[in-house]
């Protein structure tokens, strides 16, 4: 627990989401004041979002409140807001925040093929609405979720923040690249400290049901087939949620500063002469998808039924984070092995889904 002068008022968007829920819990436990927002959309079953909020002492299903106060944490409030609604966001900023941690987004690579407009509204319009408020308010640090998807067709692994992100292969990835570009322009023009976090395949308890750990575990537990794309030849840098949250908090506490050492000729895209920073946040130990499934099989004591499929549009063969920069700057070191992380996830899955 930090001292009183260390405590901050933090706005967390996507507060009913997977990473948002875990981050809020960690911030509250160390004494920060949190105002959380989420639009509670039905991209996946909202029941999981309601249940995450309920674990934080907010039960919105049996109330007609506009702003909900937690029954478990006196320093937590929640409001249902869509970040693409400019009027609501302006109203939100009548209150004062020290830091914004912007996690809200339309997620999912494959869904971006079906509903591209949702990504423009949430990930670009919504992002702009929030960062533009930083221009008019004294925000100490704007931290936002980017994605490993931005590396796209780049085959130079492990991915470094200095690697090219010129060729995204999904609109989701393109929207996240756009966020980084907008953030830099605002850092440059208005001296707003911004940090983008390129998350690598986050998993763990309370994880999203559209992601592979849920899809694999659910199929194995119910004797349904698992579709493995690219005929199972895929590699992912699975990163356990506790390690992600440790990294996010380290970043929140260390806003970037303008660097007069930045070289505009031999430029490093991970930082700038502006108070701007980009970090990979992953496990740096990529795992073959088939080996990840084998770990789930072991924890479930059941065998998977596999059906091989060709590569899907928008997918990439491999993700692999080079986290040297985050280690060097903020001493970030993931601690959770795949064996331990998968066990924690499967135990939660069995408990939550009976």
Q: What CA–CA distance (Å, rounded) separates 178 from 146?
A: 9
Q: What CA–CA distance (Å, rounded) separates 336 from 64?
A: 41
Q: Which of the 8 DSSP states describes residue 316?
A: -
Are residues 109 and 223 in contact, defined by beta-carbon separation less than 8 angstroms?
A: no
Cβ density class 266-275: b for 16+ within 10 Å, e for less = eeeebbbebb
- Pull the structure tokens for residue 128: 């702009």
Q: What CA–CA distance (Å, rounded) separates 110 from 261?
A: 40
Length of the chain: 354
Residue where the block lists tokens 């506009």: 66
Catalytic site positions: 172
DSSP states of 247-274 as a string? Answer: HHHHHHTS-----TT--SSS--TTB-SS
Q: Give the alpha-carbon dihedral of 336, 340, 346, 352, to 10 degrees.
A: -60
């Amino acid at each position: 627990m930090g001292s009183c002068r260390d405590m901050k008022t933090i706005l967390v968007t996507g507060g009913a989401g997977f990473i948002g829920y875990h981050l809020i819990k960690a911030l509250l436990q160390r004494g920060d004041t949190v105002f959380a927002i989420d639009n509670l959309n039905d991209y996946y079953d909202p029941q999981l979002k309601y249940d995450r909020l309920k674990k934080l002492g907010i039960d919105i299903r049996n109330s007609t409140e506009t702003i909900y106060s937690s029954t478990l944490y006196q320093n937590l409030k929640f409001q249902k807001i869509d970040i693409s609604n400019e009027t609501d966001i302006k109203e939100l900023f009548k209150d004062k925040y020290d830091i914004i941690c912007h996690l809200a987004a339309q997620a999912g690579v494959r869904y971006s093929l079906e509903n591209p407009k949702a990504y423009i509204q949430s990930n670009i319009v919504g992002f702009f609405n929030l960062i533009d408020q930083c221009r008019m308010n004294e925000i100490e640090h704007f931290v936002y979720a980017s994605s490993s998807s931005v590396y796209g067709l780049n085959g130079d692994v492990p991915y470094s923040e200095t690697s090219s992100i010129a060729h995204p292969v999904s609109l989701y990835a393109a929207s996240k690249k756009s966020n980084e570009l907008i953030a830099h322009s605002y850092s440059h023009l208005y001296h707003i400290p911004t940090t983008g976090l390129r998350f690598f395949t986050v998993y763990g308890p309370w994880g999203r049901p559209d992601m592979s750990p849920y899809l694999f575990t659910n199929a194995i537990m119910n004797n349904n087939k698992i579709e493995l794309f690219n005929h199972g030849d895929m590699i992912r840098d699975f990163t356990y949620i506790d390690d992600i949250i440790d990294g996010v908090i380290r970043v929140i506490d260390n806003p970037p500063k303008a660097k007069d050492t930045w070289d505009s000729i031999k430029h490093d895209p991970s930082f700038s002469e502006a108070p701007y920073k980009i970090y990979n946040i992953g496990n740096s130990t990529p795992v073959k998808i088939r080996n990840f499934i084998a770990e789930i099989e072991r924890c479930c004591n059941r065998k998977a039924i596999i059906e091989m499929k060709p590569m899907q549009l928008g997918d990439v063969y491999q993700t692999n984070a080079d986290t040297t920069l985050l280690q060097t700057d903020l001493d970030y070191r993931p601690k959770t092995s795949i064996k331990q992380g998968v066990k924690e996830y499967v135990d939660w899955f069995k408990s939550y889904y009976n």
